[in-house]
Structure 1
Amino acid sequence: MTTFDDRERAFESKFAHDAEMQFRAEVRRNKLVGLWAAELLGKTGEEAQVYARAVIQADLHEPGFEDVVRKVSADLGDRASADMVRGKMLELLPVAKAQLMTETQA
């Protein structure tokens, strides 16, 4: 095995790890967005958790996050626009990443 092979394997491993962490961060972001929307809808406790899971599942329908935006903005109606939902998603992605980093270090 050459040094090049070792470097290639390390690069592939890092790429796979980074892709997994990005996926996990997006799922966490969707959960946080779901909890935020649930609060606006007056849901609490288990009902809020169920709604957050529904938001997570909405992201599995198509690539990108517009499917989440459509679901949440439709559910919120006049309480929040699609642009407001997108803004909240952008705001919560770094929060989700920070939470995951804290969990992996513990």
Structure 2
Amino acid sequence: MFIVFLNFTDKRERAPALMAEHNEWLQQGFADQVFVLAGSVAPARGGAIIAHNVTREDIESRVSEDPLVTEGIVAAEIIELTPTKVAQSLALLDAEVAA
């Protein structure tokens, strides 16, 4: 499982022009069942995504295709997380819990 932080750079003022493309990129991640959560990081620092069912190589490749990343509007930080406990409400993540 991965947590991806998309931290604004000094080019953040260009973000609105690419938000439609970024949202399409996000939607594809959800359609592929890789992204399970996405949202803004307050206060206006950028965004974050929780991804699963993907290798580090695959998530790095996918993130590199985000229009905000390719245009240098955000810098991506990818953190790998190995869950050891999962709330029942997040049962879809059970397969990732270490035995």
Higher share in helix: 1
Task: Indicate the TM-score class for this superposition, using the shorter chain for normalisation.
Answer: 0.3 to 0.5
TM-score by length of structure 2 reads 0.36
User: Which gives a bigger RCO, structure 1 or 2 (Cα 8 Å, sep 6+)?
Assistant: 2
TM-score by length of structure 1 reads 0.34
- Looking at CA atoms only, which structure, 1 or 2, has the larger radius of gyration? 1
Higher share in strand: 2
